[in-house]
Amino acid sequence: MKLQICAEIDGNFLLNDRVDAKLYPYEFSIFSKEGKYYISVTKPVKDYIDFAPKMYNKDGIIHIEATKPEIYKDMEDWLCYIEAMGAFNFEVSKIHIDELEVNWIYDNDEEKGTIPITSLKREKQKRKAEKFVSHNNLSDLIIFRRMLPEAHIPFSYYRQAKAFFDEGNFYFAFINYFMMLEFCFADGKFQKRDVTNNFIKSTLLKLCVLSAFSMIKEKDKAGNYAWLVSECKLRQKKFNFEGIIYILIEYRGLLSHASERSKAYLFDNLKLRPVTFIISMICFLLCGYMQVYCCSSEDDKNRMMQKRIDKLNVELGWD
């Protein structure tokens, strides 16, 4: 039995015909189909039954168990390699690994019918527009420039981060979200100790963090809240505002520098989804609070924020 993974490939290159290459035990192909380019990696698999898709009936409902990803992790690594090296060699811009198609190919008649489903594709969920723009939306936006003259700078980091997040690129999404926080709260400092001190001093950032965790805790189906509790425990930090700031700054240091520690995340950025989702919620709330409080006096703003923080501390059981 052969296993094949296939993904769309984007780039500024042309094909006269299908191109192929081999390096035992792998076969590589780039080809066109319906006006798009695709790349595939194929290899033989002996004990395929242990990894192939399964179909079973539970309580009258048909369930499908996809191919176990560990059997094609080495092939995904090849796509990451080709994407990176191909950027220079023939101007590859992206291989859509997040929408991978996994195919099982029969080698002989005896293998036919041994796998209930021979092809499955990851479908990236497309977001549909749900919000209508109103006259008030545009008017408020214009007014904000007078009240928040530099807001477009952190909001630009937010825009870039969200675009990366929606594409599933959690590595660069996290970096841009953190740059938003850095612009707003680091006071021009970059050393870990200085950034930490300035972050912890901010009442607004504390409100954003507590509000984010109130929302995440309420609906934690994806396990993001549990992930951070575990991360704080692993790093011997209390699960509170200061502990969360520590985690975010640790990941900033990890991802902002090329090292042995960071390279694993570059090619397996799903590991970063929990921390990136968490910082995305914090930054989303920061955008909202910046606009909500922009018309209040400094005293009124601090009083309202502290009142909300006190309530959230009780709700979360934090200090």
Longest dimension (CA), the chain: 79
Looking at the structure, tell me whether residues 93 and 170 fall in a common domain. no
Residues 19-33 have a mean pLDDT of 96
Give the domain range for residue 262: 135-316
Domain termination site, one of 59, 91, 121? 121
Nearest by Cα to 9 from 34, 30, 28? 30
Number of domains in the chain: 2
Looking at the structure, tell me whether residues 293 and 209 fall in a common domain. yes
> Mean pLDDT highest for which of 56-60, 148-152, 154-158?
154-158
Looking at the structure, tell me whether residues 145 and 193 fall in a common domain. yes
Which pLDDT value is given to residue 45?
94
Confidence of residue 1 (pLDDT cuts 50, 70, 90): very high
Looking at the structure, tell me whether residues 114 and 168 fall in a common domain. no
219-275, pLDDT tens digit by residue?
Answer: 777 788 889 999 999 999 999 999 999 999 999 999 988 887 887 787 777 889 999
Considering the entire predicted model, what is its pTM? 0.80
**Token reading at 313:** 């501390």
Looking at the structure, tell me whether residues 113 and 143 fall in a common domain. no
Could you give the percent of the chain with pLDDT greater than 70?
100
Q: Which residue has the tokens 């923080």?
A: 309
Could you give the percent of the chain with pLDDT greater than 90?
62
Looking at the structure, tell me whether residues 201 and 55 fall in a common domain. no
Q: Is 97 within the bounds of a domain?
A: yes
Q: Is 250 within the bounds of a domain?
A: yes
Domain termination site, one of 121, 156, 179? 121
Instruction: Inform me whether the pLDDT recorded for 319 exceeds 70.
Output: no
Looking at the structure, tell me whether residues 237 and 93 fall in a common domain. no
159-214, pLDDT tens digit by residue?
Answer: 999 999 998 899 999 999 999 999 999 999 989 999 999 999 999 999 999 999 99
Looking at the structure, tell me whether residues 97 and 236 fall in a common domain. no
Looking at the structure, tell me whether residues 93 and 147 fall in a common domain. no
Looking at the structure, tell me whether residues 94 and 187 fall in a common domain. no
Residues 289-318 have a mean pLDDT of 89
Q: Is 33 within the bounds of a domain?
A: yes
Domain termination site, one of 92, 121, 150? 121
Provide the strand spans (E) within the chain.
Answer: 2-11, 19-23, 26-33, 36-44, 54-58, 61-65, 92-95, 101-105, 119-121
- Alpha carbon separation from 132 to 138, 218, 290 (Å, rounded): 11, 27, 22
